A and B are shown apart, each in its own frame.
Chain A
Amino acid sequence: MNRRLPPAARWLLHRAVGAVLVLWGAASLAFLVLHLVPGDPVTTLLGASATDSAALRQEILREYRLDDPLAVQYAAFLGRLATGDLGSSYQQQQPVSLIIGEQLGDTAQLSLSALVLLVAGALVTAAATAGRRRRVRGAVSGAELVAVSTPAFWLGIVLLTVFSFRLNLFPVAGAGDWRSLVLPVVTLAVPFGSLLAQVLREGMEAALHQPFALTARSRGLSGTALRLRHALRHAAVPAVTLSGWLAGGLLGGTVMVETVFARPGLGRVALDAISNRDIPVVVGLVLLSAAVYLVVNAFADLLCLWADPRLRSPA
């Protein structure tokens, strides 16, 4: 039946099936992994509670159906997922969708701003330095190397100390106006942006060494026009294929940045939820990041197809 569909529809179908598989796998992975760990969710939830815990334990087990066999729990879990119900947090006793929804904005704002900054920065540096003289290139790529090699949290601490504590240029903490966003965004963008700049530059330089670059020059094209009109597009493909990884990296990076800058957001929700065995929240976050990854990758694939006609089907 697949055969009859037009290629585009087949491609879509293939992707959709793949996406569902990945989402199912990711959710199951998180669910099963957290059920295998030492310290059941109830123990964690009760903590050092000063209450008669046996009765409470029973109550919690009953409410979250944690006393069912794992297979039954898993089946129920999948059933709920299929209807789009992410369940309720053990720790916060609120619907997971609400918890994630509440904090999504801050994380999205942080990571999207960082994305814009890092892409713009990488494009500008790469275009300005690709194939340039050694000194310029060396200095810039050296700086990038240091940036890539510095843990983001450490960069964040240094930026905080210098720009907030010492110079008092930016607010210290939390989420507020745009000024409170500057340092976290820079912290998140610099390492990834440097990496992207390197990939872009390598791609551009590879393109500049290809025969068509010579041909283009032989038509009287200037070096700058060559970079912008020809080389950049060639560099786009390897750069775009990084985007899935980049999305993951940015989401992971928010954990550190939100911690260092004491910002609200999903990174810290994730940290709390994992350490507290708050399985529904973890599953929700895992699904969210998997979905982001899938969407970003699909988008990246489309972008590659747009950038490189050779990747389109020969039909």
Chain B
Amino acid sequence: MTSPPTEAAIARPSFVPLRERLATFRPGLLLSVAVLVVAALACVAPGLLAPASPTDADPVAALLPPGGEHWFGTDQLGRDVYARVVHGARHSLLLGVGATALGVLVGLLIGLPSALLGRFADQVAMRSMDVMLALPELLLALLVIAVVGPSSVNAALAIAVSSVPGYARLVRGQAQVVRRAEYIRSAIGLGLRRRTVVLRHVVPNTLGPLVVPATLGVGTAIIAGSALSFLGLGPKAPTPEWGAMLAQGRDALQSAWWIAVFPGAAITLSVVAVTVVGRQLHIGLEGRPGR
């Protein structure tokens, strides 16, 4: 530690008071939580919400508009769009969550050593991240898909890779802040071992602030995943994935709007819900004094 113990000259912008933001998002929050609960249920037990099979074709009942028997209508093969949307939650949402989890994990594995080991490690890691950051995320994801081939797992992998530099930088920045924090000096002053200090204080306090960006990242990842599916680089057919359903329904939009509109709405709705909850977390965490 060779920087002076004086405060930086730049004041940190203060955050908007808790009260005001709570009030702004209140009704939205309840709704969002409800959406996420339903979505989680759809992931765990889609059969409960939609008993119909998402993959069984019934050519006789093709292209039925929304109605009593088929709430969201049927597609070109006579599959129930509602069942497909419900069953698709698992693929779309798990893709978002999985990609984010992986991205954060790798971000940690790069960002922490970068912040805690020497200058050389930091330079190497951050230059590599610069290289990845310099490429548009979609381009990076496409390159990854080119290597590993399209599938739902690989789509998650591609999105994770393209999100790594962002998380790595975030982790590094946070770890550097934490490392210089007064409570780390206190822990050292108590005579704790370096390993203990890192594991007990640095790592957990670096992780905490990642919760919000990671939550918001889930939404971004869902959108990115649907884009890959749309380009035909997502999961295998007939997997009911929202992006793929959108892609398949888009040519029929004029005659059978319901095939594309419902999965499209599902994407938007779940991303909105994830974002609202993420922001609420942000408010909750940032609102806590001392953070």
Task: Please say whether the chains A and B touch (CB closer than 8 A).
Answer: yes
Interface residues of A (CB under 8 A from B): 18, 21-22, 25-26, 29-30, 33-34, 36-38, 134, 137-138, 141-142, 145-146, 148-154, 157-158, 161, 165, 202-203, 205-207, 209-210, 234, 244, 247-249, 251-253, 255-256, 259, 270-271, 274-275, 277, 282, 285-286, 289-290, 293-294, 310-311, 314
Q: Does B264 contact A (CB under 8 A)?
A: yes
Which of the segments B45-53, B171-179, B222-230 contacts the partner chain?
Answer: B222-230
Question: Please, how many angstroms separate the alpha-carbon atoms of A165 and B255 in the complex?
Answer: 12
Contact of A149 among B142, B219, B243 (CB under 8 A): B219
Contact of B230 among A21, A134, A151, A290 (CB under 8 A): A151
Q: Does B17 contact A (CB under 8 A)?
A: yes
For chain B, what secondary structure do more than half of its interface residues adopt (helix, strand, loop), or is it mixed?
helix
Q: Does B207 contact A (CB under 8 A)?
A: no
Is A150 touching B135 in the complex (CB atoms < 8 A)? no
Contact of B135 among A21, A209, A277, A286 (CB under 8 A): A286
What are 6 residue pairs bridging A and B, where the CB atoms are less than 8 Å apart in the complex? A22-B130, A148-B275, A150-B223, A210-B13, A234-B13, A310-B10
Question: Please, how many angstroms separate the alpha-carbon atoms of A139 and B16 in the complex?
Answer: 18
Question: Please, how many angstroms separate the alpha-carbon atoms of A151 and B16 in the complex?
Answer: 29
Interface residues of B (CB under 8 A from A): 9-11, 13-17, 20, 23-24, 28, 127-128, 130-139, 142-143, 146-147, 149, 219, 223, 226-227, 230-231, 243, 246, 250, 253-254, 257, 260, 264, 267-269, 271-272, 275-276
Known: A37-B146, A154-B268. 10 other contacts (CB 8 A): A21-B127, A29-B132, A141-B24, A149-B272, A161-B253, A248-B136, A252-B137, A256-B227, A274-B146, A289-B136
Q: Which residues of A contact B13 (CB under 8 A)?
A: 203, 206-207, 210, 234
Question: Please, how many angstroms separate the alpha-carbon atoms of A62 and B272 in the complex?
Answer: 53
Question: Please, how many angstroms separate the alpha-carbon atoms of A247 and B138 in the complex?
Answer: 12
Q: Which residues of B contact A33 (CB under 8 A)?
A: 143, 146-147
Contact of A137 among B24, B28, B147, B269 (CB under 8 A): B24
- In the assembled complex, the CB of B239 is this many whole angstroms from the nearest CB of chain A, namely 18
Question: Please, how many angstroms separate the alpha-carbon atoms of A247 and B135 in the complex?
Answer: 10
Q: Which residues of B contact A34 (CB under 8 A)?
A: 143, 146
Contact of A275 among B135, B139, B146, B253 (CB under 8 A): B146
Q: Which residues of A contact B231 (CB under 8 A)?
A: 255-256, 259, 271
Contact of B128 among A25, A207, A275, A277 (CB under 8 A): A25
Contact status of A149 and B227, CB under 8 A, knowing A37-B146, A270-B142, A310-B9: no
Contact status of A153 and B146, CB under 8 A, knowing A134-B23, A209-B14, A251-B136: no
Q: Which residues of A contact B254 (CB under 8 A)?
A: 161, 165
Q: Which residues of B contact A145 (CB under 8 A)?
A: 272, 275-276
Q: Which residues of A contact B223 (CB under 8 A)?
A: 149-151
Is A26 touching B16 in the complex (CB atoms < 8 A)? no
Question: Please, how many angstroms separate the alpha-carbon atoms of A203 and B16 in the complex?
Answer: 10
Measured CB to CB, the nearest residue on chain B to A149 is B271
Q: Which residues of A contact B143 (CB under 8 A)?
A: 29-30, 33-34, 274, 282
Contact status of A294 and B146, CB under 8 A, knowing A148-B275, A149-B219, A210-B13: no
Is A252 touching B136 in the complex (CB atoms < 8 A)? yes
Is A206 touching B9 in the complex (CB atoms < 8 A)? no
Q: Which residues of A contact B146 (CB under 8 A)?
A: 33-34, 37, 274-275, 277
- In the assembled complex, the CB of A155 is this many whole angstroms from the nearest CB of chain B, namely 9
Q: Which residues of B contact A234 (CB under 8 A)?
A: 13
Question: Please, how many angstroms separate the alpha-carbon atoms of A14 and B207 in the complex?
Answer: 32
Question: Please, how many angstroms separate the alpha-carbon atoms of A33 and B148 in the complex?
Answer: 10
Contact of B137 among A202, A209, A249 (CB under 8 A): A249
- In the assembled complex, the CB of B20 is this many whole angstroms from the nearest CB of chain A, namely 8
Q: Which residues of A contact B133 (CB under 8 A)?
A: 244, 248, 293
Is A294 touching B243 in the complex (CB atoms < 8 A)? no
Is B127 touching A25 in the complex (CB atoms < 8 A)? yes
- In the assembled complex, the CB of B231 is this many whole angstroms from the nearest CB of chain A, namely 7
Q: Which residues of A contact B264 (CB under 8 A)?
A: 150-151, 154, 157-158
Measured CB to CB, the nearest residue on chain A to B247 is A153
Q: Which residues of A contact B132 (CB under 8 A)?
A: 29
Is A154 touching B139 in the complex (CB atoms < 8 A)? no
